[in-house]
Amino acid sequence: MRKAFWIAVALIGGFAVGGVALLRGETINAMWIVAAAVCVYALGYRFYSAWVAARVLAVDELRATPAVRLNNGRDFVPTHRWIVFGHHFAAIAGPGPLIGPTLAAQFGYLPGTLWILAGAVLGGCVQDMTILFMSTRRNGRSLGQMARDELGPVGGFAAILGTLTIMIILIAVLGLVVVNAMKHSPWATSTVFATIPIAVLIGLYLRNLRPGRVLEASLIGLALLLLAVAGGGLLNEHETLRAWFDFDGPALAWFVIGYGFIAAVLPVWLLLAPRDYLSTFLKLGTVLLLAIAVVLMRPELKMPAVTQFIDGTGPIFGGSLFPFVFITIACGAVSGFHALVASGTTPKLIGNEADVRLIGYGSMMLESGVAVMAMIAATLLDPGVFFAINSAPGVVGATAEAAVETISGWGFPVTVEQMQALAASMGESTLFARTGGAPSLAVGMASIFAGVFGESLLALWYHFAIMFEAVFILTTLDAGTRVGRFMLQDALSHVWKPFGETSWYPSVLITSGLVVAGWGYFLYIGVVDPNGGINILWPLFGIANQLLAGIALCVATGILVKQGKLRYAWVTGAPLAWLAVITTSATWEKVLSSDVRVGFLAAADQMAQRLADSALTPEQATVAPQLIFNQRLDAALALLLTAILWIVIADMLRVSWRVVKGLPVPPSSEAPAVRVAEVQT
Amino acid sequence: MRPTAALKNAIAQAWRALRALSADDAYDRYLAHHVRQHADRPPMTRREFYVSEQQRKWTGVSRCC
pLDDT in tens, A525-534: 999 988 888 8
Task: Count contacts between A and B (CB, < 8 Å).
Answer: 122
In this complex, which of B21, B49, B65 lies closest to A95 when CB atoms are compared?
Answer: B65
Cβ <8 Å between B61 and A341? yes
**B14 → chain A, closest CA residue:** A83
In this complex, which of A211, A215, A545 lies closest to B18 when CB atoms are compared?
Answer: A215
Q: Which residues from B are below 8 Å from A338, CB to CB?
A: 64
Which pLDDT score, from 0 to 100, does residue A171 have? Answer: 94
Integer Cα distance of A123 and A335 in angstroms = 9
What whole-number percentage of chain A has pLDDT above 90? 85
| Residue A675, strand partner residues | A63
Integer Cα distance of A383 and A303 in angstroms = 5
A79 lies within 8 A of chain B by CB: yes
Cβ <8 Å between B49 and A218? no
pLDDT exceeds cutoff 80 at A507 = yes
Helix (H) or strand (E) holding B47: helix B46-57
pLDDT exceeds cutoff 70 at A101 = yes
pLDDT exceeds cutoff 90 at A513 = yes
pLDDT exceeds cutoff 90 at A500 = no
Integer Cα distance of A498 and A516 in angstroms = 21
Integer Cα distance of B42 and B30 in angstroms = 12
Handedness of CA B35, B39, B44, B49 (dihedral sign): negative
Cβ <8 Å between A92 and B64? yes
pLDDT in tens, A195-231: 999 999 999 999 999 999 999 999 999 999 999 999 9
B38 lies within 8 A of chain A by CB: no
The full DSSP string for A497-511 is GGGG-TT-HHHHHHH
Characterise A108 by phi-psi region: left (phi > 0), alpha (psi -120 to 50), beta (else).
Answer: left
Integer Cα distance of A505 and A273 in angstroms = 20
pLDDT in tens, A557-585: 999 999 999 999 999 999 999 999 999 99
Q: Of A559, A586, A579, nearest to A134 (Cα)?
A: A559
Please report, for the domain that includes residue A322, its CATH number: 1.20.1740
Mean pLDDT of A18-47: 92
Q: Cβ(A351)–Cβ(A30) under 8 Å?
A: no
In this complex, which of B26, B34, B55 lies closest to A268 when CB atoms are compared?
Answer: B55
Confidence band for A156, pLDDT divided at 50, 70 and 90: confident
B44 lies within 8 A of chain A by CB: no
pLDDT in tens, A343-359: 988 999 999 999 999 99
Confidence band for A177, pLDDT divided at 50, 70 and 90: very high
What interface predicted TM-score (ipTM) does this complex get?
0.93
**B63 → chain A, closest CA residue:** A91
Cβ <8 Å between A74 and B30? yes
pLDDT exceeds cutoff 90 at A555 = yes
Angle at A48 between CA A42 and CA A49, to 5 degrees: 85
Please give the model's pTM, rounded to 2 decimal places. Answer: 0.95
Mean pLDDT of A485-508: 86
Q: What is the mean pLDDT of chain A?
A: 94
Cβ <8 Å between B20 and A79? yes
- Does any domain span residue A12? no
**Which residues of A, range 96-115, sit inside 8 Å of B by Cβ?**
96
Mean pLDDT of B12-26: 92
- Does any domain span residue A391? no
pLDDT exceeds cutoff 90 at A661 = yes
Cβ <8 Å between B55 and A87? no
**Which residues of A, range 128-147, sit inside 8 Å of B by Cβ?**
142
Which of A169, A204, A483 to substitute to test the interface with B, most B CBs within 10 Å? A483
- Does any domain span residue A298? yes
Integer Cα distance of A564 and A578 in angstroms = 23
Confidence band for A681, pLDDT divided at 50, 70 and 90: low
Confidence band for A504, pLDDT divided at 50, 70 and 90: confident
User: What residues contact A304, with CB distance under 8 A and at least 6 apart?
Assistant: A108, A109, A383
pLDDT exceeds cutoff 80 at A162 = yes
Integer Cα distance of A463 and A223 in angstroms = 15
Integer Cα distance of A483 and B64 in angstroms = 11
Which pLDDT score, from 0 to 100, does residue A297 have? Answer: 92
- Does any domain span residue A416? no
Which pLDDT score, from 0 to 100, does residue A494 have? Answer: 84
Mean pLDDT of A255-280: 93
In this complex, which of B27, B60, B61 lies closest to A212 when CB atoms are compared?
Answer: B27
Count of structural domains within chain A: 1
pLDDT in tens, A402-436: 999 999 999 999 999 999 999 999 999 999 999 99
Confidence band for A248, pLDDT divided at 50, 70 and 90: very high
pLDDT exceeds cutoff 80 at A24 = no
pLDDT exceeds cutoff 90 at A191 = yes
**Which residues of A, range 202-221, sit inside 8 Å of B by Cβ?**
206-208, 211-215, 218
- Does any domain span residue A548? yes
- First-to-last alpha carbon distance for chain A, in angstroms, is 41
Which pLDDT score, from 0 to 100, does residue B1 have? Answer: 65
pLDDT exceeds cutoff 80 at A25 = no
- Does any domain span residue A34? no
What whole-number percentage of chain A has pLDDT above 70? 100
Cβ <8 Å between A268 and B58? yes
Q: How far is CA A642 from CA A361, A386, A542, in A?
A: 27, 32, 12
Domain that holds residue A169: 61-108+118-184+247-369+468-661
Q: Cβ(A516)–Cβ(A614) under 8 Å?
A: no
Q: Cβ(A27)–Cβ(A301) under 8 Å?
A: yes
Q: Which residues from A are below 8 Å from B61, CB to CB?
A: 142, 340-341, 344-345, 479, 483
